């Protein structure tokens, strides 16, 4: 359970959510996110929520406050955010959450990893960013590692 990060394709971070993250896991996630934002590097995220469930309402409010407080840093550093959700219900839930607190970076909810890569790749190309490994090598197994 929790949030697992894979930085093998940096500056793309792959995040996989399993189950319902508890407050400690959420705080750890936000601390890491704050460190990334403070570094000022351009980066992108593919987050797979297919195996996750939404946080508790209080934790969700905590998360949205963080996003609002770091709006400018997110806007300036996060090139794109792709959410992989293979369930219609999960996609609708994520879409609803993002409509209440829009992310300050380009965001897309997709069905597949392939769609997420196709969304992020041009953002890196237009910013002149090359990943440590080519995104074409990214496989579904990387989301689960």
Ranges in the chain, pLDDT < 70:
1, 140-145
pLDDT at 96: 81
CB 110 within 8 A of CB 116: yes
pLDDT at 136: 78
Length of the chain: 145
| pTM for this predicted structure | 0.90
Q: Quick one: which of 84, 31, 26, 34 has its CA closest to 56?
A: 26
pLDDT at 134: 83
Burial of 26 (0-12, 13-18, 19+ CB in 10 A): buried
pLDDT at 138: 79
Kindly indicate whether the domain formed by 2-144 is annotated with CATH number 3.30.70.920. no
Question: Is omega for the bond preceding 11 within 30 degrees of 0, making it cis?
Answer: yes
Q: How far is CA 124 from CA 2, 72, 92, 128, in A?
A: 28, 20, 27, 6
The number of CA neighbours under 13 Å toward the Cβ of 8 is 15
- Structure tokens given for 47: 């987050």
pLDDT at 85: 92
């Amino acid at each position: 359970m929790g949030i697992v990060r894979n930085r093998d394709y940096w500056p793309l971070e792959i995040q996989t959510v399993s189950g319902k993250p508890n407050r400690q896991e959420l705080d750890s996630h936000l601390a890491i996110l704050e460190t990334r934002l403070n570094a000022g590097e351009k980066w992108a995220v593919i987050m797979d929520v297919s195996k996750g469930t939404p946080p508790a309402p209080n934790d969700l409010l905590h998360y949205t406050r963080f996003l609002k407080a770091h709006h400018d840093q997110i806007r300036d550093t996060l090139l794109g955010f792709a959410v992989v959700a293979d369930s219609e219900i999960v996609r609708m839930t994520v879409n609803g959450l993002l409509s209440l607190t829009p992310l300050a970076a380009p965001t897309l909810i997709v069905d597949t990893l392939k769609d997420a890569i196709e969304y992020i790749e041009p953002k890196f190309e237009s910013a002149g960013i090359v990943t440590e490994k080519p995104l074409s090598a990214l496989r579904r197994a990387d989301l689960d590692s």
